[in-house]
Amino acid sequence: MQIVLATHNKHKQQELALALADFKHQILSLDDFPQIGEIAETGTTLLENSLIKARTVNQLTGLPAIADDTGLEVDALGGVPGVYSARWAGDNAGYRENNLKLLTELAEIPADQRSARFRCFISYVDQNLELWANAKVEGIILKEPVGQAGFGYDPLFFVPGLNKTLAQLSAEEKNRISHRGLAIQNFRKLFIEKIQPEYK
Ligand code: IMP
């Protein structure tokens, strides 16, 4: 049995595969299907985009597919960038440009008003069934990056309960508390209930 992670993003692959390490399924990713390029995220919500990616990969491979879509919601910016987190600073923007934009947009915002959260939707699609789950992690956007691990906005996202940014955590530690790690745990409960009780 195989499941495809519907992403080319190595960091997401690592975090998702770690959270599914005890599955008997062989975990594949889009790196195993180089003919499948980037999938256009044409939805207007995280749920829609995660479903679009999982449905597309299920259709193209004939295999069960898992996709995630994540957004960073910054309260002082009215919830932006949200579903547009990936290309916030422009179509060709990378993590660096997006982080710079975040620092610039929040330059005048004091420490006690820099609350934010990562929200993640995980969708699973096979020939018969669609499942989805979500989760979030609350944090504070720092004034400068701290930490080398993780990816994306992680070095700017401080988690008060841990006194660390997400970029100061190992993949295991991040999975324990993060939007993606918790969403996968919620997905696992549904998966066990609906499909594979032996993973309990
Ligand atoms: P996507 O649309 O789910 O690929 O994610 C949107 C953007 O959010 C990515 O390009 C990253 O910049 C950021 N992102 C997603 N997940 C994480 C995370 O776990 N930590 C930090 N940034 C993330």
Q: Burial of 98 by CB count in 10 Å (0-12 exposed, 13-18 middle, 19+ buried)?
A: buried
Does the C-beta of 98 come closer than 6 Å to ligand 1? yes
**Whole-model pTM?**
0.96
Asked if 69 is an active-site residue, the reply is yes
181 pocket-lining for ligand 1 (C-beta < 6 Å): no
Task: Output the CA 133–ligand 1 centroid distance in Å.
Answer: 17
Instruction: Write the pLDDT tens digit of every residue in 62-76.
Output: 999 999 999 999 999
Q: Note the pLDDT tens digit of each residue in 155-196.
A: 999 999 999 999 999 999 999 999 999 999 999 999 999 987
Tell how far the Cα of 33 is from the centroid of ligand 1, in angstroms.
Answer: 22
pLDDT digits (tens, 9 = 90+) for 25-34: 999 999 999 9
Tokens 């720092």 map to which residue? 142
Banded pLDDT at 197 (limits 50, 70, 90)? confident
Residues whose CB falls within 8 Å of the CB of residue 130, separated by 6 or more in sequence, listed in order: 51, 54, 55, 123, 124
Note down the domain range covering 157.
Answer: 2-199
Backbone angles phi, psi at 34, to 5 degrees: -60, -20
Residue 199 pLDDT greater than 80, yes or no: no
Q: What is the CATH number of the domain that holds 11?
A: 3.90.950.10
* pLDDT mean over 103-118: 98
Which tens digit of pLDDT belongs to each residue from 29-58? 999 999 999 999 999 999 999 999 999 999
Domain count, the chain: 1
On the question of pLDDT at 77 being above 90, the answer is yes
- Cα(120) to ligand 1 centroid in Å equals 9
